[in-house]
């Protein structure tokens, strides 16, 4: 998956400025003029990051990012606002689990670093989800092996707590038998 982000703002000038600040970055940038439009795009394209304005007609940024959190929980969320207030920031953080909050006008360097960091966070979390899936699959396979060969997953330890390895046959016929039996049990 490419590093796709979506910028959501009802002001075309703000969208252009954000795109210019990220022009040298390797992102696939999508844009939307409203929360509803952005949700439609996000249904068709997986986004790693969304950058949204707070004040937009129809749906506020807080409402939009809260919806994004529910519909696309893995997507990282950044909010921009020209009307920074403690109340708006707290609402956004609490309702949309915002990764970062920027006031307009933003600092281009800080924004670039935040976007890079958000993409790295998404990628690490995606890798962790994949590893967790692998661990769960392997645990299931171990339980299946334990059913076929009770005690196969238990470890024997010596007095110092070191694992004692017993001889394991590497005879091709033994391995083939184990694999065949596992396939039959599935």
Encode pLDDT of 14-39 as tens digits: 999 999 999 999 999 999 999 999 99
For 119, the domain range is: 4-129
**pLDDT tens digit string along 160-180?**
988 887 765 555 556 666 666
Would you give the distance in Å from CA 66 to the centre of its chain?
A: 16
- Comparison of pLDDT for 185 and 60, the residue scoring more: 60
Q: Tell me, yes or no, whether 157 lies in a domain.
A: no
Residue 186 has pLDDT above 60, yes or no: no
| Cβ-proximal residues to 27 (8 Å cutoff; 6+ apart), any chain | 2, 3, 4, 5, 115, 119
Q: Tell me, yes or no, whether 182 lies in a domain.
A: no
What is the dihedral angle through the alpha carbons of 138, 140, 146, 151, rounded to the nearest 10 degrees? 60
The structure tokens listed for 25 are: 């970055």
Residue 157 has pLDDT above 90, yes or no: no
Question: Confidence band (pLDDT; 50, 70, 90) for 151?
Answer: confident
Q: Tell me, yes or no, whether 62 lies in a domain.
A: yes
Would you give the distance in Å from CA 20 to the centre of its chain?
A: 26
Q: How many domains does the structure of the chain reveal?
A: 1
Q: Tell me, yes or no, whether 184 lies in a domain.
A: no
Rounded percentage of the chain residues whose pLDDT exceeds 90: 56
Say what the pTM is.
0.74
Q: Tell me, yes or no, whether 153 lies in a domain.
A: no
Whole-angstrom distance, CA of residue 43 vs CA of residue 169: 52
pLDDT at residue 103, as a whole number: 85
| Cβ-proximal residues to 114 (8 Å cutoff; 6+ apart), any chain | 78, 99, 100, 102
Q: Is the dihedral of CA 83, 64, 30, 32 positive or negative?
A: negative
Q: Tell me, yes or no, whether 59 lies in a domain.
A: yes
The structure tokens listed for 63 are: 């409402």
As a whole number, mean pLDDT of residues 122-150 equals 91
Cβ atoms within 10 A of the Cβ of 17, count? 17
Residue keyed to tokens 């509803």: 36
Looking up residue 37, the CATH number of its domain turns out to be: 3.40.50.2300
């Amino acid at each position: 998956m490419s590093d796709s982000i979506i910028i959501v703002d009802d002001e075309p000038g703000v969208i252009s400025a954000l795109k210019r600040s990220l022009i040298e970055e390797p992102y696939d940038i999508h844009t939307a003029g409203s929360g509803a439009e952005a949700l439609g795009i996000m249904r068709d394209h997986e986004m790693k990051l969304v950058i949204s304005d707070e004040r937009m007609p129809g749906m506020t940024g807080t409402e939009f990012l809260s919806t994004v959190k529910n519909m696309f929980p893995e997507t990282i969320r950044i909010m921009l606002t020209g009307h920074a207030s403690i109340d708006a920031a707290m609402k956004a953080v609490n309702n949309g689990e915002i990764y970062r909050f920027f006031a307009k006008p933003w600092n281009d360097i800080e924004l670039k670093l935040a976007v890079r960091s958000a993409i790295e966070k998404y990628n690490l979390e995606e890798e962790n989800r994949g590893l967790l899936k692998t661990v769960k699959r392997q645990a299931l396979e171990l339980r299946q092996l334990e059913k076929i060969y009770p005690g196969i997953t238990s470890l024997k330890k010596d007095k110092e707590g070191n694992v004692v390895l017993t001889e394991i046959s590497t005879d091709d016929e033994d391995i083939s038998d184990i694999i065949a039996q596992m396939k039959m049990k599935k």
